[in-house]
Amino acid sequence: MPGRSAQEWIRLSMRTPGILIFGMVLAPCGWILDLTATVAPNWRTLHAVPDIATDEFIQQGIWEICRASSINTRADCSLSDPTYFANEIIRVAQGLMVASLIVTLGGIAVAIPGVRCWKESPNWVVAGLGGLLIFLSGVMTIIPIAWYTHILTELSSDTPLNDVRVGYCIILGYIGGILEILGGFVMFIGICRCCNGRNRGERRVEDVRRQFTHQKPPTTRAPVPSLSRPRSSASSSVPYSKDSLDDDVSFPRAKTPAARSVNTVHSRPYDDDL
């Protein structure tokens, strides 16, 4: 874009690409949500359980089981349910959720050196590989969450299943997994260098410096002598006289040739006249 200085072009060309910023923001957000879904004991809740108060319910997660109350914020997590933890989905969810957290951290660690924050251009290959790891971590989160939701009411348990409801860990797991899938996929697209900043008017820093180095200096115009003449102070109807014009001219005038005398008495001029 014309009219910009070299410093402004370099500043615009060294911006971090938007697809990398998008992925680096969504990946940590998804990791936090997945961490909450992994450690919190609320994958499903059991209401209307016999032998307990009506305001109490059972919370079942993949690591522990708690008894909570709607009128008390304290929960008792010392309950045990061997039949519930014997379900295959519980073991699969434990392994995949922990693996997802580790892979997400590894993807962020790989993508950080490739993202352009202090260099002239990003390392698209390294950033793309980091995005691929983040994408895979999101997939590993969605698989156990979707499986658990599909068989939510079919999981065997020692507690009677009168009223089974989805816990907040399922919702957080879905959101976190989707954020990681979107962020990792967008970062992985950059490995093809499909945009490379050209859609925002950016140019390579080397090209900007080369252009402003070989740019021709602006041409200066030669001063032109002024031909303005001061107006005569004499009170005359003629603003200029012949003498004043001859004096005011800043360059010498050509002399007027003298009139040539020709003898017109005879038809041929004499030699002196020639």
Q: Per-residue confidence at 48, pLDDT binned at 50, 70, 90?
A: confident
Q: Quote the CA–CA distance of 95 and 103 in Å, as a whole number.
A: 12
pLDDT for 20 equals: 85
C-alpha to C-alpha distances, 5 to 12, 197, 203, 205, 211, nearest whole angstrom: 11, 19, 13, 13, 11
Q: In this predicted model, what pLDDT tens digit does every residue of 170-224 receive, in sequence order?
A: 999 999 999 999 999 998 887 776 544 444 445 555 555 565 565 555 556 666 6
Structure tokens at 263: 């003898």
pLDDT at 212: 53
Domains in the chain (CATH in brackets) are: 1-17+195-214 (no CATH), 20-191 (1.20.140.150)
Q: What pLDDT shows up at residue 175?
A: 96
This prediction's pTM? 0.66
Task: Name the pLDDT band for 161 (thresholds 50, 70, 90).
Answer: confident
Closest to 153 in 3D by CA, of 60, 51, 37 = 60
Task: Look at 255 and 185; give whichever has higher pLDDT.
Answer: 185
Reference 163, options 54, 74, 80, 62; nearest CA is: 54
Sign of CA dihedral 81, 87, 88, 90: negative
Kindly report, residue by residue over 92-148, the tens digit of the pLDDT: 999 999 999 999 999 999 998 888 655 667 788 888 899 999 999 999 999 999 999
